[in-house]
Amino acid sequence: MTSLLSVTSPSASLSVLHNALIVGAILFTLGLVGILTRRNLIVMFLSAELMLQGISVSLVAWSRYHGDYGGHVLVIFILAVAACEAAVALVFVLQAFGRTGRLDASAWQSLRESNLSRVVDRELPASDTVPPLWPTLAPAGVLPKADENEPLQREHV
Amino acid sequence: MNPLSFFSGADPLSDVGPLSAPGLLLAAAVTAGAASLWLLLPRGRENRITGWLGLALGGLSLAGFVATGRRLGGIGEEAVFLTVSLVAVISAAATILTRSPVYCAIWFALSLAGVAGVLLVLGAQFLGVATIVVYAGAILVMFLFVLMLAQPTGMASYDRVSSEPLLSAVAGAVLLGLLTLAIGRLSAGPESAPTTDAPTDGALASDSLAADQVARLGAELFGRHLVAVEAVGTLLLISLIGAIAVVSRGEAAAADEDRARQRRALP
């Protein structure tokens, strides 16, 4: 275990730094692509958190390379600021959902600049709405009385 | 003068230039990754062929990144680092590629586990555990609560289309290419180059398993960065109050609207 976590030679330390920085760069880029492409507000915030994770990995790698605790301290601050950001942002997402009934970022495109064109969804093919696939369970116990007027299940998760 | 050479503080070496063999492999990996993202991003119509092609390109891209990674010395540490970083990267990709937002959140939790593993390998025990506790335990559960509160019935149409997947994939490829180029130049520099900053594997890395690592981290946090800790505490308080204020004011406004509507409907 000691040999796993303590790298002795300087070149090995540099290799650890290189590999960890590559991982951090990949995470950051994936988060960037996610926040650019996805339309669901919550998935956009998840992508932002992904970018923060990439930054955390890079900071800790630099901290290990230099042998001090500066990167660790910054990552702790990132954790705290991410918690604040998630709390405030999710409140705004809930308010936005309450006004439009959708979690769609394009639902707010009336706020765009006047010289930009409107985003129009391409028509989704009807065959895309696949029927829900529920697991089949062996019947056991008494069938509960259900109110037929009330839908019990969502079609999808 | 190369604009990237400031990053390393040394002259860029010729064997990691963009036209050398590892540079070409990295460029191919970045391109394959971008193409894979473009193929796999949600679009209106599911297509089995593009799905498999995207998965194959993603696997090729990951293999390219693994092949260009530096050797760490021991087979054990290489295996551990490879495993945790592959878990982090693959589930991060699945986070942004999955249609259903609930599954996005679950994949993000797995990615957090991978990132925590990377932090542990890097010798940051406290941060690895704190990532699991704070992110996966608190923030992610908050996301899931909001998803359950706000998810409309059925799979929404805006989860099945993405805005500008081609341009975003190209932008991501450009960014990742620049980053990997800079990192390659940085770490290919001679060992003598960054001696000013003591890459001697200093006090931290050699005793990352020391019993008092958390104590030292706390001493650093509450010693040199005490004012910043106070500021972050104030920020947490402000965001808490702000969230409550926004929610309560929004409800009050909605109630006012309801009352006004009823008053208009009455006569």
Question: DSSP of A89-118, one letter per residue?
Answer: HHHHHHHHHHHHS--BGGGGGGGS-TTSPP
Residues of B in contact with A47 (CB under 8 A): 95-96
Residues 17-36 of chain B with CB under 8 A from chain A are none
Tokens of B205: 């890395």
Written as one letter, the residue type at A32 is L
- Measure in Å the smallest separation between the Cα of B1 and chain A Cα atoms: 23
In terms of residues, how long is chain B? 267
Mutate to test the interface with B, among A6, A22, A92, A100 (most CBs of B within 10 A): A22
Residues of A in contact with B40 (CB under 8 A): none
Average pLDDT of the residues in A96-122: 82
**Higher pLDDT pick, A63 / B162:** A63
Tokens of B248: 């309560």
**Higher pLDDT pick, B210 / B40:** B40
- Measure in Å the smallest separation between the Cα of B24 and chain A Cα atoms: 16
Residues of A in contact with B157 (CB under 8 A): 121, 124
Whether A69 and B131 lie within 8 Å, measured CB to CB: no
- Measure in Å the smallest separation between the Cα of A88 and chain B Cα atoms: 5
Residue burial A43-66, b: 16+ Cβ < 10 Å; e: rest: bbbbbbbbbbbbbbbbbbbbbbbb
Least confident piece of the model among A123-137, B159-173, B251-265? A123-137
Residues 101-160 of chain B with CB under 8 A from chain A are 101-105, 108, 111-112, 115, 118-119, 121-124, 126-127, 130-131, 134-135, 138-139, 142-143, 146-147, 149-160
The residues that bridge with A104 in the sheet, in sequence order, are A40
| B40: Cβ contacts below 8 Å, ≥ 6 apart | B50, B51, B54, B55, B58, B93, B97
CATH code given to domain A8-102: 1.10.287.3510
Residues of B in contact with A49 (CB under 8 A): 108, 135, 139
Angle between the N-to-C axes of helices A10-37 and B101-121, in degrees from 0 to 180, rounded to the nearest 10:
170
pLDDT band at residue B216, thresholds of 50, 70 and 90? confident
Residues 48-107 of chain A with CB under 8 A from chain B are 49-50, 53, 56-57, 60-61, 63-70, 72-73, 75-77, 79-88, 90-95, 97-98, 101-106
Which residue, among A104, A18, A142, A23, has the nearest Cα to B93 in the 3D structure? A23
pLDDT band at residue B177, thresholds of 50, 70 and 90? very high
The answer on pLDDT for A115 being more than 70 is yes
The nearest alpha carbon in chain A to B118 belongs to: A57
Pseudo-torsion of CA B31, B35, B38, B40, nearest 10°? -130
pLDDT band at residue B89, thresholds of 50, 70 and 90? very high
Least confident piece of the model among A8-17, B35-44, B111-120? A8-17
Place of tokens 């969230």: B243
- Measure in Å the smallest separation between the Cα of B182 and chain A Cα atoms: 10
Domain layout of chain A by residue ranges: 8-102
Q: What is the DSSP letter of A156?
A: -
Tokens of B31: 């391109």
**Higher pLDDT pick, A113 / B44:** A113
**pLDDT value of position B1:** 38
Q: Are B185 and A81 in contact (CB under 8 A)?
A: no
Average pLDDT of the residues in B76-92: 93
- Tell me the backbone φ, ψ of residue A148, rounded to 5 degrees: -70, -20
How many whole angstroms separate alpha carbon B66 and alpha carbon B47? Answer: 29
Residues 48-107 of chain B with CB under 8 A from chain A are 65, 69-74, 76-77, 80-81, 85, 88-89, 92-93, 95-96, 100-105
- Measure in Å the smallest separation between the Cα of A115 and chain B Cα atoms: 19
For B109-129, the pLDDT digits (tens) are 999 999 999 999 998 889 999
CATH tag for B13-191 (out of 3.10.20.30, 3.40.1350.10, 1.20.120.1200, 1.10.3720.10):
1.20.120.1200
* Average pLDDT of chain A, as a whole number: 81
